[in-house]
Amino acid sequence: MISDLTNICCENSASDQAILQLFNDKCFKIVEKDKTTGKFCLDEFAFPADGYSCISIEVAASGGEHIIFDNGINVSSPPATLTADTLYVRGLMLYITYPTKDVNGDELSISNKKVTVSVEDVAAASYRDHSIYNLFTIFTNPKSNVTLDLINRIKITNSSALFKVDIKGLIIYGKTPA
């Protein structure tokens, strides 16, 4: 079901704000009033899955954090290759949403809607932090035994005292080749 475009992010239907929306044809489209000005389609997207986990979590206000997944690699001294025939997180679809009002009942400004997404990269042996607004992302790692091809861990932190955030995700596991 596609939402009425006037009810997605615009306060009134007279707004000239272009929006990005996912449509039933598997395409993200930039829509300006009644015309599409750009699109990005996923109609041929496929990725091998040896397992999966669905998540639906809430990240509390004031420094609440949640580790979305952890492949358990010691990034300070990673092995050269991964253990054969073992499941590791290879892909993730993640969607972060915010409430419309804060804990005081006031409408949240788009500039206040942010969390920190921390990605621990085995190759860099450290976290990289990114401030993120509404996030919908898909990532997939190669299905190999090379440790440096793997993202080790992703963590979400909410520093705002004004709201909690909801996260939904699909974690995809892939076995390492034998």
Strand partners, 153: 70, 120
Residue-level pLDDT at 5? 41
pLDDT, one tens digit per residue, over 42-55 is 888 888 899 999 99
Nearest alpha-carbon partner for 147 in 47, 70, 92, 74: 74
Residue-level pLDDT at 15? 58
Residue-level pLDDT at 136? 78
Structure tokens at 59: 């990240």
Positions of the chain with pLDDT lower than 70, given as ranges: 1-15
Nearest alpha-carbon partner for 87 in 15, 2, 171, 19: 171
Q: Which residues contact 31 (CB under 8 A, 6 or more apart)?
A: 5, 18, 19, 20, 21, 37
CA distance 62 to 70: 23
Structure tokens at 71: 């492949």
Residue-level pLDDT at 152? 93
CATH class held by domain 51-175: mainly beta
pLDDT, one tens digit per residue, over 60-80 is 999 999 999 999 999 999 999
CA distance 178 to 165: 40
Nearest alpha-carbon partner for 53 in 14, 92, 84, 25: 92
CA distance 77 to 108: 43
What are the residue boundaries of the structural domains of the chain, listed by start? 5-41, 51-175
CA distance 105 to 174: 43
Angstrom CA distances, 59 to 65, 92, 153, 155, 160, stand at 6, 18, 17, 11, 11
